[in-house]
């Protein structure tokens, strides 16, 4: 990299540092182009993207079909607000509810908004359908959850950075350990006013914690027995990422809703975001059946941009791509292959203690303390070698490439990762 070129990155980084709030700590790389599994920096270096914008870009960067749907719609009609009908929203709602097997969809924009929406629906259902005394509803959540950044959501986080000095906190949440059925049973027995159980099928931000294979099915069962809504936050795990259309689909590889899913733990409320647009536009959604969704009536919830024509057209295209390109099965095959290869490597490794995950949502655990800089240093070295990844919670590195990755590309990435790790072996 020549000095002149390096100055280009440095300048863009300096701009963000000077004029932007410092609410992120990015890897020192400035990107200006993406295509499929690749992104390029302003010096024209090419990288494999192993973050995929936190699994928003499952369909690959700038997928032509998604971009085309966005451009066509942008030229025609962008926003009407929900004060009027538009010709795209109903088509999208029909497509997505059929795709995922629910009666109704409530459209929002960001993931956090969709989680907020799910919480509101759950509480209202509790008072109007379950008969919980007003303002007494409780929602059970898990330790080390990540559901977004709003005041209410961070109220039930246990990440100090996310919480500290943002109080007073929203009440009404009970925290239990993740992947702990007895704890869930206990919380349900002790609290008659539980309205819902909000859970990530795999805890992505916490470090790709994958629960016992029967955790979701058992949790769903307990929720049923206690007349409590089972709410799945699939913003990161959903839309083929884990080798199933949804992580709650267990081991089914169909690319749309099907009845054969023996291991399917159908959520009462499903929360989607991120890859719902293939990363082209902020699109999120809450799905539920009529008996739940009907608690929301005109004027009780909304969003100016939610369900806008661009979002609707983009989401249909993004979901079609998942089906047409068989991304579910590809994520499963490539994921198995990736973990197999990395497991071989770590047999003789002192720097990596574990590889875990499902489909193409994986992580390695670095054999050092969470407050050490080793994982960060490895990510900087990976970047130098042409692959972008980011540490999550200190000593864990998440590997989540776009689901369009093929075997040849994945082999090249495994070579980069193992070669880089070798330099850090003691």
Ligand X SMILES: *Cc1c(COP(=O)(O)O)cnc(C)c1O
Return the residue matching tokens 């839309």.
Answer: 239
For the chain, how many residues are written?
426
Residue of closest CB approach to ligand X: 111
338 is catalytic: no
Give me 121's structure tokens: 């629906």
Per-residue contact string for residues 183-222; x = within reach of ligand X by CB under 6 A: -----------------x---xx-----------------
Which run of H or of E encompasses 397?
strand 396-399
Shortest Cβ distance from residue 118 to ligand X (Å)? Answer: 10
Q: Is residue 238 a contact residue for ligand X (CB under 6 A)?
A: no
Piece in contact with ligand X (CB under 6 A), picked from 96-104, 118-126, 206-214, 231-239: 231-239
Q: What is the DSSP letter of 130?
A: I
Q: Give the full edge-to-edge strand order of the sheet including 387-388.
A: 31-35, 38-41, 46-49, 387-388
Q: Is residue 270 a contact residue for ligand X (CB under 6 A)?
A: no
Closer CB to ligand X, 132 or 311, in the complex: 311
Q: Is residue 116 a contact residue for ligand X (CB under 6 A)?
A: no
Shortest Cβ distance from residue 275 to ligand X (Å)? Answer: 10
Per-residue contact string for residues 272-311; x = within reach of ligand X by CB under 6 A: -x--------------------------------------
Closer CB to ligand X, 51 or 342, in the complex: 51
Catalytic-labelled residue, pool 233, 305, 358, 390: 233
Which run of H or of E encompasses 265?
none
Cα 376 to Cα 382: distance, rounded to the nearest angstrom: 10
Q: Give the full edge-to-edge strand order of the sheet including 284-288.
A: 104-108, 284-288, 269-272, 229-233, 194-199, 138-142, 173-176
Q: What is the DSSP letter of 280?
A: S
Q: Is residue 110 a contact residue for ligand X (CB under 6 A)?
A: yes
Report the greatest alpha carbon distance in the chain.
68
Piece in contact with ligand X (CB under 6 A), picked from 29-37, 85-93, 146-154, 238-246: 146-154
Q: Considering only CA atoms, which of 242, 239, 248 is closest in space to residue 199?
A: 248
* Residues engaged in binding ligand X (CB under 6 A): 54, 110-112, 115, 146-148, 200, 204-205, 233, 235-236, 273
């Amino acid at each position: 990299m020549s000095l002149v070129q390096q100055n280009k990155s440095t300048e863009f980084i300096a701009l963000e540092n000077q004029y932007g709030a410092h609410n992120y700590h990015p890897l020192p790389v400035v990107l200006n182009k993406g295509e499929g599994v690749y992104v390029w920096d302003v010096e024209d270096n090419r990288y494999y993207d192993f973050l995929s914008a936190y699994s928003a870009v499952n369909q690959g960067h700038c997928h032509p079909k998604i971009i085309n749907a966005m451009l066509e719609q942008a030229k025609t009609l962008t926003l009407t607000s929900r004060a009027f009908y538009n010709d795209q929203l109903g088509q999208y709602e029909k497509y997505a509810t059929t795709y995922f097997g629910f009666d109704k969809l409530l459209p929002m924009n960001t993931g956090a908004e969709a989680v907020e929406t799910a919480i509101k629906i759950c509480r209202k259902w509790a008072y109007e359908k379950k008969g919980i005394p007003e303002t007494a509803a409780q929602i059970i959540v898990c330790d080390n959850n990540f559901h977004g950044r709003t005041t209410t959501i961070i109220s039930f986080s246990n990440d100090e950075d996310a919480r500290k000095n943002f109080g007073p906190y929203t009440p009404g949440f009970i925290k239990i350990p993740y992947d702990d059925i007895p704890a869930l049973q206990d919380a349900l027995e002790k609290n008659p006013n539980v309205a819902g159980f909000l859970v990530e099928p795999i805890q992505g931000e916490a470090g790709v914690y994958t629960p016992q294979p029967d955790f979701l099915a058992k949790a769903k069962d307990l929720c049923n027995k206690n007349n409590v809504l089972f709410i799945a936050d699939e913003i990161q795990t959903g839309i083929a990422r884990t080798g199933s259309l949804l992580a709650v689909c267990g081991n089914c590889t169909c690319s749309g809703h099907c009845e054969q899913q023996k291991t399917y733990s159908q959520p009462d409320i499903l929360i989607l975001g991120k890859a719902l647009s293939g990363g082209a536009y902020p699109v999120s959604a809450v799905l539920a059946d009529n008996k739940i969704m009907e608690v929301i009536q005109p004027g009780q919830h909304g969003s100016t941009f939610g369900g806008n024509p661009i979002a609707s057209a983009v989401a249909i295209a993004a979901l079609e791509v998942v089906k047409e390109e068989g991304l579910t099965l590809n994520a499963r095959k490539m994921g198995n292959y990736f973990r197999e290869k990395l497991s071989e490597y770590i047999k003789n490794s002192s720097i990596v203690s574990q590889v875990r995950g499902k489909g193409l949502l994986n992580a390695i655990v670095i054999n050092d303390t969470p407050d050490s800089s080793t994982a960060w240093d490895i990510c900087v070295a990976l970047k130098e070698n042409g692959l972008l990844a980011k540490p999550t919670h200190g000593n864990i590195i998440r590997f989540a490439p776009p689901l369009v990755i093929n075997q040849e590309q994945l082999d090249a990435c495994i070579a980069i990762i193992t070669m880089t790790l070798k330099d850090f072996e003691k």
